[in-house]
Amino acid sequence: MARSHFTLDLGAIRHNVGVLLSALDGAELWAVVKADAYGHGAEDVAPAALASGATALCVATVPEALALRPLVPGARLIVLGPAAADEVRPAREARLELVTAAGDVPEGIPVHLKLDTGMGRWGLGELLTPGRDVVGLMTHFATADSDPSFAREQLERFLRATAGHTGLTRHAANSAAALTLPESRLDAARCGIALYGVDPLGDHGARWGLRPALRWESEVALARRLARGEGTGYGLRFVARDETWVGIVPVGYGDGLRRDLTGTEVLVAGARRRIVGTVSMDAVAVELPGPVDPGTPVTLLGDGITAEAHARVAGTIAYEVVCGLTSRPSRATRVVVDA
């Protein structure tokens, strides 16, 4: 048996594209598929997003874009992160678009000028006079998910700086801004996390009508009875106060089930159960009310078990939970469905 199994639902990706398109109210949707589509599989997500209405793809690096180019030969592919000097030629040959956040604008390739309006990371402090290769003007919000008033301030700075260039495509919004700050939608929005059905604000994607696109399932390999005072896992961080049953599930942080997920809930045969003890690299224990058969299904993501909830337990954001999943064939199986 495979230790665990991932299912990517392209129907959910299409559905989420639809939700975002209606929120965007006429602005273009650019699908952000960096970091292997946030752990979902860019080769599968990118064509599905384009087929359902996204008009460009965004990645972080030139190699990410070059890997996707053969799969989406006609698509606009925008590299959001900085490109090294020796990457400009391959980028030009692959018909990519680059973002420049410094004074040296590459030539002979479509370029987006990035303005820093408050993110304090990459970005020009002042708009250069756009040369003829410039096709877009952009900025990135630091607080779209946490402080809308600062995001509005950033937007105002951006609009002021770019007011004379309305002929160029202006884009600022990420998922959180696209869903919550209508005035930030401008000509296009660069949406990642919402595309995957995950709430950019960390609550629950369903409140925006989004559907999680990834399921992750495993099974109980073995049910163990712990007598009072017996523990399970490294460090014996869980010790049974009374006789307790635990199910040993063959996934761990080597698969992306983070070590700080002790206490999070998963489904065992459809019922919510807690992860107890230390998550190890290849195995984890769940608390059970009694013995179950080996092979009893365990749902780690899906059917109401969300990346957002895991992230709250781990003290991180759902982005990091999904980006950390490792569906490599040596450890898990993976299928793509269209439900």
Distance CA 45, CA 148 (A): 29
Smaller CB distance to ligand PLP: residue 44 or 219? Answer: 44
User: How deeply is 227 buried, as exposed, middle or buried, from its count of CB atoms within 10 A (0-12, 13-18, 19+)?
Assistant: exposed
SS3 label, residue 196? helix
Per CB under 6 A, the segment of 61-69, 184-192, 290-298, 327-335 that binds ligand PLP is 184-192
Q: Return the closest-CA partner of residue 56 out of 130, 117, 119, 136.
A: 136
The set of catalytic residues is 34, 234
The correct pick among 115, 191, 213, 300 for binding ligand PLP (CB under 6 A) is 191
In the complex with ligand PLP, which residue's Cβ is closer, 176 or 214? 176
User: Is 40 near ligand PLP (CB under 6 A)?
Assistant: no
Considering the complex, state which of residue 210 and residue 240 has its C-beta at the smaller distance from ligand PLP. 210
Nearer to ligand PLP, 192 or 277 (CB): 192
Q: Where are the alpha helices (DSSP H) in 122-221?
A: 148-162, 175-180
- Alpha-carbon torsion (286, 287, 288, 293), positive or negative: positive
Q: To the nearest whole angstrom, how small is the minimum distance from the Cβ of residue 198 to ligand PLP?
A: 8
The single residue among 118, 123, 130, 192 that binds ligand PLP, judged by CB under 6 A, is 192
193 binds ligand PLP (CB under 6 A): yes
Is residue 13 at the binding interface for ligand PLP, with CB under 6 A as the rule?
Answer: no
Give the nearer residue to ligand PLP in terms of CB position, either 121 or 328.
Answer: 121
- Using CB under 6 A, pick the residue from 3, 14, 170, 190 that binds ligand PLP: 190
Report the C-alpha gap between 12 and 30 in whole angstroms. Answer: 17
CB-nearer residue toward ligand PLP: 173 or 226: 173
Could you say which DSSP state residue 290 is in? S
Residues 112-151 that bind ligand PLP (CB under 6 A): 140
Mind giving me the DSSP string for 295-316? T-EEEEEBTTB-HHHHHHHHTS
Cβ-based neighbours of 275, under 8 Å, separated by 6 or more: 261, 262, 263, 264, 265, 266, 284, 285, 286, 287
Rounded to a whole number of angstroms, the minimum distance from the CB of residue 232 to ligand PLP is: 36
Chosen residue from 175, 184, 232, 306 binding ligand PLP by CB under 6 A = 175
Residue of minimal Cβ distance to ligand PLP: 192
Measured from the CB of residue 145, what is the shortest distance to ligand PLP in angstroms? 7
Give the containing element (helix H, strand E) for 288: strand 284-288
Shortest Cβ 175–ligand PLP spacing (Å): 3
Q: Angle at CA 54, nearest 5°, toward 101 and 119?
A: 30
The mark string for 71-90 relative to ligand PLP (x by CB under 6 A, - otherwise) is ---------x----------
Does position 200 interact with ligand PLP (CB under 6 A)? The reply is yes
User: Cα–Cα distance between 226 and 238 in angstroms, integer?
Assistant: 10
Figure out which of the listed residues 27, 29, 31, 32 binds ligand PLP, where binding follows CB under 6 A. 32
Q: Sign of the C-alpha dihedral, residues 118, 123, 124, 126? A: negative
Closer of 52 and 175 to ligand PLP (Cβ): 175
188 strand-pairing partners = 28, 171
**Min CB(194)–ligand PLP separation in Å:** 6
Please select the residue that binds ligand PLP; options are 16, 174, 278, 306, rule is CB under 6 A. Answer: 174
In 3-state terms, what secondary structure has residue 30?
Answer: strand
Q: Which residues bind ligand PLP (CB under 6 A)?
A: 32, 34, 80, 140, 174-176, 190-193, 200
